[in-house]
Amino acid sequence: MRLKKLSLVAVAIAAAVSLSLTGCATGSNGGNDNIVSVNGSEPQNPLITTNTNEVGGGLIVDNIYAGLVYYDADGAPVNEMAESITSTDNTNWTIKIKSGWKFTNGEEVTADSFVNAWKYGALFSNAQLNSYFFDAIEGFSYEKDTELTGLKVVSPTEFTVKLTSAQSDFPLRLGYTSFMPQPQAFFDDPKAFGENPIGNGPYKLAAEGAWKHNVDINLVKNPDYQGGRVAKNGGLKIVFYATLDAAYADLLADNLDVLAGIPDAALKTYKSDLGDRAVDQAAAIFQSITIPGRLAHFSGEEGKLRRAAISEAINRQEIIDVIFNGTRKPARDFTSPVIAGWSDSLEGANVLDYNAEDAKALWAKADAISKWSGKFEIGYNADGGHQGWIDAVANSIKNTLGIDAAGKAYPTFAEFRTDITDKTITAGFRTGWQADYPALANFLAPLYQTGAGANDGQYSSKEFDALIAKGNAATSLEDANKAYQDAQVVLLKDLPAIPMWYGVANGGYSTKVSDVKVGWNSVPVLHNIVKN
């Protein structure tokens, strides 16, 4: 890759047409010249597909599992285990899988492997973070244990899916982690399995104990993998660095092969440091600050006024120029410019403009309802290179509104996410979204739909939910995106999260590797990398 801009991917699926998708440790490779090392982060949870919704775990799970489809570097779906995915009405789907695939323990992958895994992920009592991905399937419930009656196994290589309504982008979703198959060993002991998962993807865990918590995880090439992501290297060493600065130092020393992310301090110099090994491209990444409605002063009309005031108190462009060396773009919505249907002219988007005078006036109106007291904090994980911009945002709010504002650091991403997931965090907090599949809906429903697994601020709006449902049931991508844009107008009024900027894929690679490519979602295409 030579600093190539990501092209816009538009995936249109028409109705009534049969569809077919034919750490603290060094990154040294320990003397194995065919193992590619890459930076990562300690997963929040055991490695279970339906309970992994953060980048640390996702990087691992997506490389040890094969699903019905995968997304190529440009975001287009490509059949992996699927022979075909067809429908005549976008409600009733027939999925045929390729025969002969096996999990790395030798068990055959069948239709049951998919259906049973989806049923487990959807079951209310299993409390899986990704359960909402199954909510369109007949029989799903957010409130109690129910059977997914919409899933039927026809044969070892065929199953059917009945949805509660037409879903124009259903096939596009099926490359996401939640829809992966599982072997019987998973159902026998999910907790133990999560520490040593058995997949069917291009890689597998190197051996028992391959995952050294808070240090690294070691994967090796799966010789039996039959799909389109055959590894061109012998395996992956994913290193959990304490800071991006440490990872960058290892990259410069050729002790780390691939770095996804550049520390703030190196953004001005990394292109000259790395030359044509530097990465800088658009990606489907969105950064925001979420403020839970349960926090004092942030609910009801007072909360809306304060959220708008804080948004207008942030000088996004100045922070981007100073902290990120101009390598971000101020947000104009809640999605990403690289996704089809993106718009920079939504009604109400002016609340994302820096306007100190209006911010002060809005804050004063909120004070008239209930006088502000306390300190506004923004939580973040210190191991992710976020301190610089968090401090800058806090200072912008402090200087504009005249209140006490500061960052609240957590040592690790796992600790940070645990407080968020457990709803025990007592501050606003940084939230980022790296798309699961290339569609506007993926930036909206998982984060803001009532009860969704990644709805960290516990936002709930009947108007927003109805518009998401309208978009999901649309018979064309154009109609769907119009509903999703209307849903964002609701978000711009309520501001459950404050949009900050669109991310880019900044990174680099060592002199020891070639054929390095970064995908549409900012994740390096690891199976394609060759160790020189």
Structure tokens at 354: 């820096």
Same domain, 439 and 522: no
Structural contact between residues 214 and 171, judged by C-beta atoms closer than 8 angstroms: no
Q: What is the DSSP letter of 505?
A: E
Q: What is the pLDDT of residue 32?
A: 53
Which whole-number Å values give the CA distances from 403 to 300, 375, 398, 418, 500, in the listed order?
A: 21, 7, 5, 28, 20
Beta bridge partners of 220: 204, 235
On whether residue 19 sits in a domain, the answer given is: no
On whether residue 364 sits in a domain, the answer given is: yes
Residues 258-270 have a mean pLDDT of: 93
Phi/psi of residue 290, nearest 5 degrees:
-95, 135
Structural contact between residues 502 and 286, judged by C-beta atoms closer than 8 angstroms: yes
Q: What percentage of the chain carries pLDDT values higher than 70?
A: 94
Residue-wise pLDDT tens digits, 443-454? 999 899 998 878
Q: What is the DSSP letter of 296?
A: T
CATH number of residue 82's parent domain? 3.40.190.10
Q: What percentage of the chain carries pLDDT values higher than 90?
A: 81
Tokens 């990403």 correspond to 336
Beta strand pairing call for 158-162 and 151-155:
antiparallel
Tokens 């808070």 correspond to 214
Q: At what angle do helices 462-472 and 477-494 cross, to 10 degrees?
A: 170
CATH number of residue 298's parent domain? 3.10.105.10
Residue-wise pLDDT tens digits, 477-512? 889 999 999 999 999 999 999 999 998 889 999 999
Q: What is the pLDDT of residue 340?
A: 85
On whether residue 275 sits in a domain, the answer given is: no
Domain residue limits at 92: 35-239+510-531
Q: What is the pLDDT of residue 305?
A: 98
pLDDT band at 282 (very low <50, low <70, confident <90, very high): confident
Same domain, 317 and 466: yes
Same domain, 457 and 517: no
Same domain, 39 and 156: yes
Same domain, 229 and 373: no
Lowest mean pLDDT among 9-13, 136-140, 298-302, 475-479: 9-13
Total number of domains constituting the chain: 2
On whether residue 12 sits in a domain, the answer given is: no
Structural contact between residues 45 and 153, judged by C-beta atoms closer than 8 angstroms: no
Same domain, 235 and 366: no
Q: Pick from 174, 197, 194, 172: which is nearest to 65 by CA? A: 197
Three-class SS of residue 513?
Answer: strand
Same domain, 404 and 474: yes
Helix (H) or strand (E) holding 369: helix 356-369
On whether residue 269 sits in a domain, the answer given is: no
Residue-wise pLDDT tens digits, 3-58? 222 222 333 333 333 333 334 444 444 445 699 999 999 999 999 999 998 889 99
On whether residue 447 sits in a domain, the answer given is: yes
Same domain, 490 and 365: yes
Q: What is the pLDDT of residue 33?
A: 66
Q: What is the pLDDT of residue 370?
A: 97
Identify each DSSP E strand in 203-277 by its residue range: 203-205, 211-212, 216-221, 235-240, 258-260
Q: Got the DSSP string for 399-428?
A: HHH-S-EEEEEESSHHHHHHHHHTT---SE
Residues 237-256 have a mean pLDDT of: 96
Same domain, 339 and 488: yes
Same domain, 475 and 522: no
On whether residue 523 sits in a domain, the answer given is: yes
Structural contact between residues 408 and 380, judged by C-beta atoms closer than 8 angstroms: yes
Within 10 angstroms of residue 214's Cβ, the number of other Cβ atoms is: 14
Residue-wise pLDDT tens digits, 345-367? 999 999 999 999 999 999 999 99
Whether pLDDT at 464 is above 50: yes
Same domain, 518 and 433: no
On whether residue 262 sits in a domain, the answer given is: no
Which whole-number Å values give the CA distances from 363 to 297, 303, 503, in the listed order?
A: 11, 10, 29
Structural contact between residues 130 and 142, judged by C-beta atoms closer than 8 angstroms: no
The span from the CA of 486 to the CA of 478, in Å, is 13
Q: Pick from 473, 386, 409: which is nearest to 170 by CA? A: 473
Same domain, 45 and 118: yes
